């Protein structure tokens, strides 16, 4: 079986990404929508990273995590969006075998890393609200670095496993991937191998990644909400809810679409494409907006930076 897989891989030089099957005039519209959205992803996330690196008031564990979140959003969106945008205006919608492997590797790496990072951010908010006097001691710089490094490590291991089980399959008949980027489920559909084991491993990996991180987030927020409700001041409650609201919105956006895509049967491919679009491009665009519009410290830091630039000019 292994020899057969290797020989078939040598014959497969490229795949075809068919993306959204719409009329030619709508392809132009989708091109501009994707281009606009991806431009906002670049602007928002690069802007957030620069702001966090330059504003001294944002030199805290929460913004250290947020800066890494922006980098991850930027990275996995960039693994998918440029090729998808180019394909809208191209009659040749192919991607090389090596390009497909690289795209799946980097996308899986960063999307899984984000899941673990969101769990680390929930823990950070738990310590900040439930044990504020011990926050500086518990959320030390070294611990923050370890949590981020651990998130990347888990993402890397998961990505290697997903790429390995996906591209050891044989491809005999069709090389057409029914999606706008290379992903495990549509690639399994075009394989002539027995994909039962691959599907079991894929679902298991998804469950191992999604369920524990969701549990950490849920338990953290049960304690957070319980603590907030004990605050007598309404203003204090609103401030505490405000610091957590942005994170909950980001978690809901990512996990809602990812869970729909990977933990449900692939009964409607077009609906799956919409879900994929949400977490590959739309969510990375919205995350900087959510944190900047709902966060007083970010707005103040941005205002100060703009005033400094204005004074310099």
Q: CB neighbours (10 Å) of residue 304?
A: 15
* Six-digit token string for 162: 């997903």
> What one-character DSSP code corresponds to residue 60?
S
Q: Are the CB atoms for 165 and 202 separated by under 8 Å?
A: yes
Domain ranges for the chain: 2-305
Inter-residue long-range contacts of 52-59, CB under 8 Å, 24+ positions, other chains counted: 54/305, 55/301, 55/304, 55/305, 57/297, 57/300, 57/301, 58/297, 58/298, 58/301
DSSP string, 104-117: HHHHHHHHHHHHHH
Neighbours of 131 (CB within 10 A): 14
What's the pLDDT at 311?
A: 54
What pTM, to 2 d.p., does this model score? 0.88
The whole-number pLDDT of residue 34 equals 93
How many Å separate Cα 104 from the centre of its chain?
A: 13
177 with 16: CB under 8 angstroms?
A: yes
CA–CA separation, 174 and 191 (whole Å): 8
The pLDDT tens digits for 167-216 are: 988 887 678 998 899 998 889 888 888 888 888 888 888 888 888 998 99
CATH superfamily membership of 2-305: Rhodopsin 7-helix transmembrane proteins (1.20.1070.10)
Cα four-point dihedral sign 63, 53, 72, 285: positive
Sign of the Cα pseudo-torsion (125, 127, 133, 134, in order)? negative
CA distance 209 to 132: 29
pLDDT in 10s for each residue of the chain, 313 residues: 444 444 444 467 889 998 887 787 788 898 999 999 999 999 999 999 999 998 888 889 999 999 999 999 999 999 999 999 999 888 888 999 999 999 999 999 999 999 999 999 999 999 998 998 899 899 999 999 999 999 999 999 999 999 999 998 888 767 899 889 999 888 988 888 888 888 888 888 888 888 899 899 999 999 998 988 887 777 777 777 776 777 788 888 888 777 776 656 655 667 778 888 888 999 999 888 888 766 777 878 877 777 766 554 4
Return the H-helix or E-strand segment holding 248: helix 234-262
Q: What is the pLDDT of residue 15?
A: 93
């Amino acid at each position: 079986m292994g020899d057969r897989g290797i020989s078939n891989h040598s014959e497969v030089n490229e795949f075809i990404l068919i993306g959204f099957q719409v009329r030619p005039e709508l392809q132009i519209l989708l091109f501009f929508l994707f281009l606009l959205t991806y431009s906002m992803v670049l602007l928002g996330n690069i802007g957030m990273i620069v702001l966090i690196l330059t504003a001294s008031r944002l030199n805290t564990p929460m913004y250290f995590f947020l800066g890494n979140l922006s980098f991850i959003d930027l990275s996995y969106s960039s693994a998918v969006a440029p090729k998808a945008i180019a394909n809208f205006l191209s009659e040749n919608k192919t991607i090389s075998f090596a390009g497909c492997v690289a795209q799946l590797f980097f996308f899986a790496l960063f999307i899984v890393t984000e899941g673990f990072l969101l769990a680390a951010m929930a823990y950070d908010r738990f310590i900040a609200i439930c044990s504020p006097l011990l926050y500086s001691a518990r959320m030390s710089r070294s611990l923050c670095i370890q949590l981020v490094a651990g998130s990347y490590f888990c993402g890397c291991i998961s990505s290697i496993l997903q790429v390995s089980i996906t591209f050891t399959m044989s491809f005999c008949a069709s090389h057409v991937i029914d999606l706008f980027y290379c992903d495990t489920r549509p690639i399994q559909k075009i394989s002539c191998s027995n994909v039962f084991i691959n599907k079991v491993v894929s679902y298991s990996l998804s469950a191992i990644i999604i369920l524990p991180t969701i549990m950490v987030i849920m338990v953290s927020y049960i304690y957070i909400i319980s603590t907030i409700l004990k605050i007598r001041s309404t203003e204090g409650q609103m401030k505490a809810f405000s610091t957590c609201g942005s994170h909950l919105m980001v978690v809901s956006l990512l996990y809602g679409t990812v869970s729909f895509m990977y933990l449900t049967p692939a009964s409607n491919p077009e609906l799956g494409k919409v879900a994929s679009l949400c977490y590959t491009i739309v969510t990375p665009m919205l995350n900087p907006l959510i944190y900047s519009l709902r966060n007083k410290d970010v707005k103040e830091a941005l205002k100060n930076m703009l005033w400094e630039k204005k004074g310099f000019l």
